[in-house]
Each structure stands twice: as structure tokens, then as C-alpha cells.
Structure 1
Amino acid sequence: MKAIDAWAQPANGCLREKMPEVACLFEKSGSGHLLDQAMSPFETVAHMDEAGVEKLMLAAWCRPEGWVTSNDQIANYTRAYPDRFIGVATVDLSKPVAAVRELERAVLELGCKALRIVPWLWKLAPNHRLYYPLYVKCIELDIPFCTQVGHTGPLMPSETGRPVPYLDEVALDFPELRIVAGHIGHPWTDEMIGLAWKHDNVFIDTSAYLPRYYPAQLLQFLQSYGSQKVLFGSNFPQLSLSRCMKQVQELGLSPEVEAQFLYENARRIFKLP
């Protein structure tokens, strides 16, 4: 098995301080000890090797109060291990002109392969006007837009994660934009599956859920007409890479579906070498 993990972030030891909302999520997942633990690129690669994860898509984080992990910090990982880490940029959504410029810099100078914005951090659904210049720039740069759907594990309001109407409107306004919606969409999983079927460029990643707990309707979609629409994600370091990969094996997917889910879909959607 080889895998591209579509949703991860560095374990930098400052999550409890800079992202206090996620503390309860980590505790419930049995990974609370990682909130304060810094893991070097070398140590992260060792975890990947143990699990059988070939590439980790590491994302920067910015929130209204300031940067949690900068695009330049992500670039330190991708420069250290260019064959193992793939940078995913973010921006300060509250500064639209500077945000577009930062996205362009992150892609053209730092080599990032996507943009990710988590709506609950900003309390702004993805159809808000502040996102729209970024969607245009994503299309120009030929990169996907990654976002979160479903309820928030962190203790924040969940409304911004509803696939319908918010993400549906974005896909209608920007049919060329490749959208990767992370965290399955629970409890609106059926809505998210409907969007992925409806829109050619809308996809789902399974991050933040252990494979053992994937919803039945998502597994049915993955193993039938949605085999090219679903990507593996872990939300590392919230979930153990080894645990996720072991449980993927237990799903009993056909070799073709498993390869698409774990690797081929991400390679195609993010246009990786």
C-alpha cells in the first residue's frame, strides 16, 4: 500500500496555545499528548514510513487572531523532504488584496499545491465575498481549493460547514474550481455526496475520521460511482497515520478502488508529479 494523505498539518507543539478550540478534539481522539509535542520533519517522515504513507499534504494555518503556522514554515518541511511533503497554503482572509498576493507567492515561490481555508475559524461560509478573489486566483494558478465540511469537532459553530447551500453556490459560480471538501461532511454526508456527484470538480476527503467510522453511504459511494471522488485524509496529528492505514486495509476495498482512494485521486486532483 502507498498513500497520499490529503489533510495534515505539522505537529509543532503550539496547538494548545494557538488553537485552543482543538484541544477537546485531540483529547477525544486519544492524541491529547501531541498538542504540546513538537515533531521535526525527520520524525514526521519516520511516522509516515511506519504507516506506509508516501506523501503528506501539510497545510499552513491562519486565524483572525494571527498566524498559527505560516506558509514559510510549511516550506521548511517541503524543502527538507521534497518527495514526502506537499505544501498547502493558507492566507489571512480578512485582508483580501494581501491574501491574493500571499497565495500567489506561496504557490509560485514556495511551491504550494493548493489553498486551504477552514470556514469555522473565520465564522464565514465559503460563499462569502471575501473568498471569491481567492477562487479566481486558484483557477489562474490551477490549484485546488481545500475546505472543511460538516460539524466542527472543535467547540465552534458548525453552520459554516453545511455543504448546501454554501459550497453548492461556490461550485455553481466557479465550475472550473477544483474543490476538495475535508472531514466527510457529517452529519450532512448525504448532502456532500450529492454535491460530489452533481459537480465534476467537487471531491471529498475523509480526514478527521478513522476508517472504521466512515459512514456507510460514503463507503457505498467510494466503492461504486464515486470511486474517483473520494480521497484519503487523516488530519494528522489528530489521528495516527498507522492506525488509519491499518483500518483502511480492514475495509475490504478492491485493489483498484483502494489505489484510487489512497493515491491516484489525490495525484490527479492536485496534479502531482
Structure 2
Amino acid sequence: MSLRSGAIDAWAQPAMGNLRERMPEVARLFEKSGSADLLERRLDPAQTVAEMDKAGVDTLMLAAWCRPEGWVIDNDQIAEFTHAFPDRFVGVATVDLGKPMAAVRELERAVTELGCKALRVVPWLWKLPPDDRLYYPLYVKCIELDIPFCTQVGHTGPLMPSETGRPVPYLDRVALDFPELRIVAGHIGHPWTDEMIGVAWKHDNVFIDTSAYLPRYYPSQLLHFIRSYGQDKVLFGSNFPQLSLSRCMEQVKGLDLPAEVEAKFLRGNARRVFKL
């Protein structure tokens, strides 16, 4: 089986060469993952595609990043990638959560003018869980625009408080308040993986992506979920450039998933959830 037939990476960001300067919290995470060299390495769109081709990844969902101190990667920079290779990159917008009305307007611009297919907000950056009132206007706009909301669950690799990443009660409450909202929870949810699986099972529109974990380290209960009653609920993700695309894809082969399950995990679920 060829992994070049449509693999979609649901969580990635461009290698802009500015992470050590603008996201110092992640430097330790990159160092522990063996990818410290990419903290300051810049890859243009063509070079990024070359990395994808080596790994057998067809599509990267590239996300913008904003933090309270300012933009790290803005939505227009993401659009430079998606416009250069529209068949290889999909844009995932972000917003300045601290400016609620401007955030809603920026989300609409990113989707309607720049072509982004989702919104991502990382709660630990803002020290606000996803049921905070500042998120709620964005959830309404996501539903109006028919795009998913993507977020991080589980402990934080960076040395920041992890409480905002608990699936229960925070993400569960959002899914109860907005049953129409498609939610993609990235980074598995460890050490609350069982909670995350429970929330995904409970809510039809809640999904999990596996970013930030090499496949050989996926928790056993998540692998059981992927192979059985959760085969429509889990999406492949890498967190590139934190993890090597090639290492991730090589290790997916080692999971020995049934062909139909692997096809859903690598591409089918992402296509359906993000309406690609």
C-alpha cells in the first residue's frame, strides 16, 4: 500500500525559523523531540513540499499562531503557502483571542478571503480553557462558516500549566453548548486520554488528532479506539516541524492497522471533518 495516495496531516505549522524567538516555551519540546535544529530553520513552500514528498504526506494543514504578546505566524503568511501549492496545503486560521470583535472579523476574513478551512486556538497560550466566554462568539462564527474548531488537549509539552487542556469538564461543556460545532482535539489528551476518548464517543461532532506523539507512543486505549468503535473519530497529525514527517509515517506502517481503518485514519476522517 502506498502512503502517497492521500495522507493528510491534521496538525502542522510552517517552519518559519522564528520559534526560539517568538515561542520560547516550545524550545524545550523541540529539543526533547530531537528536532531542535528546526527551531531556527526556515523552509519555504517548495522546501516544505519536498519534506512531504520524502515522507509520503500529500496534504499539510498549516496553522497560524497568535499569542497575547502578538502574532507568531499570521493568517496571511499561511495563505502564502496555500496559494503557492493549493493542492498540498490547507490553511488553519487563528485569531487574537483577547480582542473578541476583531477576532470574529479576522476569522471571517481568513475563511472567506484567504481560504482557510478551520480555526485553531491553543488554550495554554491564553491561560483560558475553551469554555471561557471569549471563545463563544468564535464558535458561533465557526458554525456559520461551517468550519471545525481545532484545539489542544492534554498536558502541555512546553513548561506551562496544563489545566486548560482537560477534556472534562471544559471541552465536554463546549460540545454540550454547541452540538453543531465540529471540534478536533489535538495531541491525544494524555494523561487524560480516557477522558478524551469518552468525550469523542459521547459527542457526534468531537474528534481526536494524534499530533505531537510518534505513532509508536500512542496509548494502547487510543489504538483500541482507532481499530474499533472510534475508527471514524481519530485523525492523523504530526505537529510538524516538532516531529519528522518521515518518522511519523514510517511508524504508522508499524501499527499494522487494517487497510480500511488506516485509510480513515490517514485521510478519510480528515476529508470528512474538514470538508476537503
TM range (shorter): over 0.9
Structure 1: 4+ residue segments shifted above 4 A:
none
Q: Which runs of 5 or more structure 2 residues have no equivalent in the other structure?
A: none
Q: Percent identity over the alignment?
A: 81
1:119 paired residue among 107, 116, 123:
123
The CA distance in 1 between the partners of 2:7 and 2:132, in whole Å, is: 33
1:236-255 deviation line (CA, Å, top 9, x unaligned): 00000000000000000000
Match of 1:66 in 2: 70
Residue 217 (structure 2) pairs with residue 224 (structure 1): no
Match of 2:15 in 1: 11
Shift of 1:256: 0.2
Match of 2:252 in 1: 248
Shift of 1:222: 0.3
Match of 1:185 in 2: 189
1:176 paired residue among 172, 180, 183:
180
Amino acid in structure 2 at the alignment position of 1:215: P
Amino acid in structure 2 at the alignment position of 1:256: E
> Any residues of structure 2 matched to 1:1-273 within 5 Å, and which?
1=3, 2-272=6-276
Question: Normalization by structure 2: what TM-score?
Answer: 0.98
1:193-242 deviation line (CA, Å, top 9, x unaligned): 00000000000000000000000000000000000000000000000000
Q: How many residues end up aligned between the 2 structures?
A: 272
Q: Which runs of 5 or more structure 1 residues have no equivalent in the other structure?
A: none
The CA distance in 2 between the partners of 1:69 and 1:34, in whole Å, is: 15
The CA distance in 2 between the partners of 1:111 and 1:7, in whole Å, is: 17
1:85-135 deviation line (CA, Å, top 9, x unaligned): 000000000000000000000000000000000000000000000000000
Shift of 1:28: 0.2
Question: Normalization by structure 1: what TM-score?
Answer: 0.99
The CA distance in 2 between the partners of 1:151 and 1:20, in whole Å, is: 17
Amino acid in structure 1 at the alignment position of 2:152: Q
Amino acid in structure 1 at the alignment position of 2:16: N
1:168-212 deviation line (CA, Å, top 9, x unaligned): 000000000000000000000000000000000000000000000
SS at match of 1:56: strand
The CA distance in 2 between the partners of 1:125 and 1:159, in whole Å, is: 8
The CA distance in 1 between the partners of 2:121 and 2:47, in whole Å, is: 26
1:122-149 deviation line (CA, Å, top 9, x unaligned): 0000000000000000000000000000
SS at match of 1:53: coil
